[in-house]
Chains A and B, each alone.
Chain A
Amino acid sequence: MVRRLFQKNKQLSHAESVFSETGSLVRFPAVDIEEQDNSYVVHAEIPGMKKDEIDVEYRDGYLMIRGEKKFEREDKRRDFHRIERSYGSFQRTFEIPEDIQADAIKAEYKNGVLEIRLPLLSPEKRRVKRIQIS
């Protein structure tokens, strides 16, 4: 079920990066989404950030993760042999089923991975409709 719900998000991931309207390169961090302990759990790989540099927002059924990874100033003076890591803005938006407790969403940043837990509503509050078979 979750697989189908998030299918829309998957299409986005095929493009590793796109140009935003402002013309700057916007990247999509890789994510995992699963259903676990009565929550939807989203993991996103965003290495090298500080937690206050990442924005997580939930609005009208959409979860958005965004931020900007800046090139460190102290390194600008050095000669670079290799720059493979990505810098700049990143953003991803996911459509989340609306049966969650929006007030109880929690996020944690650890080892370069952002974890967002979106607890599901209790079964009574979820709009489950039993269909009578005639």
Chain B
Amino acid sequence: MADKNTQAVVRKDDAELASRIKDTLVPQVDICEDRESVTLYADLPGVAKDGLDVHIEKDTLQIYGRRSAHAQAAGTGAYTEMPARDYYRAFTIGEEVDRDHISAQLANGVLKVVLPKSERAKPKKIDIKYA
């Protein structure tokens, strides 16, 4: 799975997406793999379930997270280190991912996306017949 952020996936006709991902933060991720699947974890602190958008288009997995607005809340003399920006990151996924069975869950500010491998891509042991 390759990081696609460097080669922005914005098409010219997709102005809405272009404006959404402008000035976004790149969430940090862990990606691991076993025989069955590839699993991605992304740190998205401050993103609630309704502010999260995960989707796949062709070979691109896109994650967009809207940070809840506490930072913009009216207060006096705020001291801030948490940027009030949303998260966006895109990845290229390989042929081996079974696109119909991808699942995602969000808990405690961490998004977990499980990308199962298609049967064809799973390792198989070949039985050897003795003549």
Contacts and interface: CB of A to CB of B under 8 A. Distances in A.
Interface of A: 1-3, 6, 9-10, 13, 30-36, 41, 43, 45-50, 75, 77-86, 109, 111-113, 115
A78 B81 contact: no
Contact of A81 (B31, B43, B68, B70): B31
Given A80-B32, A81-B32, A84-B30, A31 B82 contact: yes
A60 B76 CA distance: 24
A2 B108 contact: no
Interface string B63-95: 000001011011111111110000000000000
Given A31-B82, A81-B1, A112-B109, A2 B30 contact: no
Nearest to B40: A82
20 contacts: A2-B76, A2-B79, A3-B77, A9-B79, A30-B81, A32-B70, A45-B45, A47-B44, A48-B108, A48-B110, A75-B32, A79-B32, A80-B30, A80-B33, A84-B30, A111-B46, A111-B47, A112-B45, A112-B47, A113-B68
B48 interface: yes
B28 A86 contact: yes
A82 B33 CA distance: 10
